[in-house]
Amino acid sequence: MSQSLKALLGLRDLVYSGGVAPGERLSEVALSERLGLSRTPLRAALARLEQEGLLEQIPSGGFAVRSFTREEVIDAIELRGVLEGTAARLAAERGVPPARMVAIRNVVAELDAIVAVPVDAMDFDAYVARNASFHDMLTGLCGSAILRREIERSVALPFAGPSAFLNAQTDIPAFRKSLVIGQGHHRAIVEAIELREGARAEAVAREHARLARANLIFVSGDRDLMARVPGLALMTD
């Protein structure tokens, strides 16, 4: 792993985990010692996280960790839904190479098998991994590098990603049943793309993202649950 990537991942994890408080100025010297890295890759990582929206420049120089209102988090989730919906619609309209359709169908089949078991016996880690694979594949189906880049930017905030609230669901059977609903969305999105139904693919993808909004509202009402979600320590009331 390069020093630049190590700096980016280390700093992002520090912010997500609440290791640095919102509004706190980030000291390059302290970060260098804490992460065991030189200041050059740290500067690049700080600039990258500022572009992603996790940090903000402060008048006195340097960067501070941002905080977010619940409305801003909801906006980030809505934006992801719009972008993923656009990706699904364009994939349906433009057509998808057969090999890519086979690959995403295989992931959907794997997810079907995971959610088919009783909720208390579900392989949750496997679900998280396959869910991430599904969304990554969906992003690339339409072949738009611009759209992929913008989706990657939109999910850079921890609570905007498709797996953002899954860690809070492991001990709540009723909540975890929403995964079954989400899996129905996965199947419907792929089916609509295969049938070249662009409007339907877009609508289902956007509805799928709204599950995360419902999960956010549920999680944000319980501080113990909030502690399980990376990044929600940055959210203010």
What ranges do the domains of the chain cover?
3-65, 70-234
Question: Taking the C-alpha atoms of 203, 101, 104 and 94 in order, what is their torsion angle to the nearest 10 degrees?
Answer: -40
User: Can you tell me the distance from the alpha carbon of 114 to that of 137, in angstroms, rounded to the nearest whole number?
Assistant: 19
Asked if pLDDT for residue 68 goes beyond 70, the answer is yes
Kindly state the average pLDDT of the residues 78-98.
96
How many angstroms separate the CA atoms of 142 and 93, rounded?
9
* pLDDT greater than 90 at residue 48: no
Q: Where are the alpha helices (DSSP H) in the chain?
A: 3-16, 28-35, 39-52, 70-94, 98-115, 124-140, 145-154, 173-176, 178-194, 198-219, 223-226
219 pLDDT band (50/70/90 cuts)?
A: confident
Average confidence (pLDDT) over 196-212: 95
Mean pLDDT of the chain: 86
Do residues 20 and 235 lie in contact, with contact meaning Cβ atoms separated by under 8 Å? Answer: no
Bridge-partner residues for 235, per DSSP?
A: 68
Q: Cβ neighbours of residue 237 under 8 Å, at least 6 residues apart?
A: 69, 70
- In the prediction, which pLDDT does 230 show? 64
Under CATH, which architecture does the 70-234 domain have? Up-down Bundle (1.20)
Closest of 42, 64, 44, 40 to residue 54, by C-alpha: 64
pTM over 0.95: no
Element (H, E) at 160: none
Count of CA atoms in the C-beta half-sphere (13 A) of 29: 0
Q: How far apart are CA 126 and CA 21, in angstroms?
A: 32
Assess contact for 76 and 181: CB atoms under 8 A.
no
What is the distance of C-alpha 128 from the center of its chain? Answer: 11
Q: CATH assignment of 3-65? A: 1.10.10.10
In this structure, what token pair is assigned to residue 112? 């079907």
Average pLDDT over residues 77-84: 93
- Average pLDDT on 127-142 reads 93
